[in-house]
């Protein structure tokens, strides 16, 4: 499906936001790496889906009612066999927050190479239009609010400066014995989202807010493993 089709379909279904797969298709359409994935309706479809992917896999609930999948018991990582996945689906369906939700299916996807988790976000300012944001994942964003914003469109230099101004910037360079991660890969994603020809400039009227949380950045690249696009 083309990108306009993905957005039109979500609107025709009266959705407030794109589902995770649609969000990732949109990112992929702008050249951002996303995990290879398959959506299954339930445990019966796991065996067929399993042959199309390379384990270990991640299993995620797909529901318009569940925003924070992990909090709801809707994410399982590092699953290595069809039997493990089938059992995880059964367990997931019994989690209290999942039992009460509308369920569109289960997303099965490959694991991203390990790395530093980064958040890339976007909001629409009534005065300035789209803004792009970057921060380091986990407590850096949630507790320390260590983030950098720019008005779109941004240049490569803007993107590099955004990373440099994070208080936690040293983490990307491999603080405390960890390997450095590819800052270029983050800059590339920021440009594909917030640059001149980026997603936000091309879809300025489509989204109220968006985020990739997390983008997992390794030494050699970056993979968007979660995507949320809230429609206007
Ligand atoms: P949510 O934010 O809704 O709880 P995510 O899709 O972000 O759900 O998944 C939760 C966490 O699981 C991520 O922050 C990441 O640490 C891990 N994770 C999710 N998908 C993958 C993946 N494909 N590869 C590696 N880790 C993943
Ligand atoms: Mg997430």
Distance 128 CA to ligand 2 centre (A): 27
The three-class DSSP label of residue 44 is: helix
Q: Measured at the alpha carbon of residue 124, what is the angle toward residues 161 and 188, in degrees to the nearest 5?
A: 35
Ligand 1: residue of 97, 225, 229 to mutate (most ligand atoms within 8 A of CB) is: 225
The token pair at 95 is: 């989690």
User: Residue 174: which CATH number?
Assistant: 3.30.470.20
Residues 218 and 168 in one domain: yes
pLDDT for res 172: 94
Together in a domain, 25 and 120: no
- The pLDDT of residue 114 is 95
Structural domain that includes position 54 = 3-110
Task: Answer yes or no: do 164 and 121 share one domain.
Answer: yes
Q: How far is CA 168 from CA 116, 118, 160, 230, in A?
A: 12, 11, 14, 28
Single out the residue in 68, 90, 110 at which a domain terminates. 110
Residues 26 and 80 in one domain: yes
**Ligand 1 pocket check for 76: Cβ under 6 Å:** no
pLDDT of residue 177 exceeding 90: no
Q: Is residue 43 very low, low, confident or very high in pLDDT (cuts 50, 70, 90)?
A: very high
138 and 67 both lie in a single domain: no
Residue 221 CA to ligand 2 centre (angstroms): 19
The verdict on 140 and 218 lying in the same domain is yes
Do 139 and 226 belong together in one domain?
yes
Q: Which atom of ligand 1 is nearest to the CA of 226?
A: 6
Q: Please give the structure tokens belonging to residue 143.
A: 């507790």
Q: Give tens-digit pLDDT for 50-67.
A: 999 999 999 999 999 999
- Rounded CA-CA distance 195/202 in Å is 10
Residue 30, domain CATH:
3.30.1490.20
In the chain, the percentage of residues whose pLDDT exceeds 70 is 100
Where does a domain end: 110, 134, 168? Answer: 110
Q: For the chain, what percentages of helix, strand and coil (3-state, to nearest 5) are there? A: 35, 30, 35
| Ligand 1 pocket test target in 214, 215, 222, 230 with most atoms within 8 Å of CB | 214
CA atoms of 16 and 123, how far apart (whole Å): 15
Please tell me whether residues 91 and 135 are part of one structural domain.
no
SS3 56: coil
With a 6 Å cutoff on the Cβ, whether 54 touches ligand 1 is: no
Instruction: For ligand 1, say whether the CB of 58 is within 6 Å of any of its atoms.
Output: yes
| Nearest CA, atom 13, ligand 1 | 214
pLDDT score of 2: 86
Q: Are residues 80 and 138 in the same domain?
A: no
* Contact predicate 214/226, CB 8 Å: yes
Distance CA 63, CA 18 (A): 11
CB 230: neighbour CB atoms within 10 A? Answer: 17
Q: Are residues 78 and 164 in the same domain?
A: no
> Do both 56 and 160 map to the same domain?
no
pLDDT for the residue numbered 50: 96
DSSP bridge pairs for 120:
134, 212
- pTM, entire model: 0.96
Nearest to 62 by CA among 35, 89, 36, 82: 89
Confidence at residue 146, expressed as pLDDT on a 0 to 100 scale: 92
Query: 11 or 204, which is more confident?
Result: 11
**Which one of 62, 95, 110 terminates a domain?**
110
- Residue for token digits 């986990």? 138
Domain count, the chain: 2
User: Residue 118: is its pLDDT beyond 80?
Assistant: yes
Pocket test for ligand 1, best of 19, 39, 70 (most atoms within 8 A of CB): 70
Tell me the mean pLDDT in the region 37-61: 97
Ligand 1: distance of its center to the CA of 6 in Å?
A: 22
| Token pair belonging to 217 | 């950045």
Q: Do residues 135 and 166 make contact, with C-beta atoms less than 8 angstroms apart?
A: yes
The torsion angles phi and psi of 225, rounded to 5 degrees, stand at -100, -10
pLDDT on residue 139? 74
Q: Are residues 121 and 103 in the same domain?
A: no
- Of how many residues is the chain composed? 232
């Amino acid at each position: 499906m083309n990108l306009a089709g993905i957005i039109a379909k979500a609107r025709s279904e009266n959705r407030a936001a794109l589902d995770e797969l649609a969000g990732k298709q949109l990112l992929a359409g702008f050249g951002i790496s996303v995990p290879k994935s398959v959506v299954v309706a339930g445990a019966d479809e796991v065996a067929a889906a399993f042959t199309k992917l390379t384990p270990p896999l991640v299993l995620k609930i797909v529901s318009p009612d569940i925003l924070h999948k992990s909090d709801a018991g809707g994410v399982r990582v590092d699953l290595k066999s069809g039997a493990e996945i089938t059992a995880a689906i059964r367990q997931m369906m019994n989690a209290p927050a999942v039992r009460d939700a509308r369920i569109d299916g289960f997303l099965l996807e490959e694991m991203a190479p390990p790395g530093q988790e980064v958040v890339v976000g976007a909001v629409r300012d009534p005065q300035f239009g789209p803004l792009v944001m970057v921060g380091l994942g986990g407590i850096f964003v949630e507790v320390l609010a260590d983030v950098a914003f720019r008005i779109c469109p941004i240049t490569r230099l803007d993107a590099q400066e955004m990373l440099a101004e994070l208080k936690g910037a040293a983490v990307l360079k491999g603080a405390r014995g960890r390997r450095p991660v590819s800052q270029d890969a983050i800059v590339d994603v920021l440009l594909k989202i917030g640059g001149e020809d980026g997603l936000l400039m091309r879809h300025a009227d489509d989204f109220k807010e968006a985020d990739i949380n997390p983008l997992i950045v390794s030494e050699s690249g970056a993979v968007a493993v979660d995507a949320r696009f809230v429609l206007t």
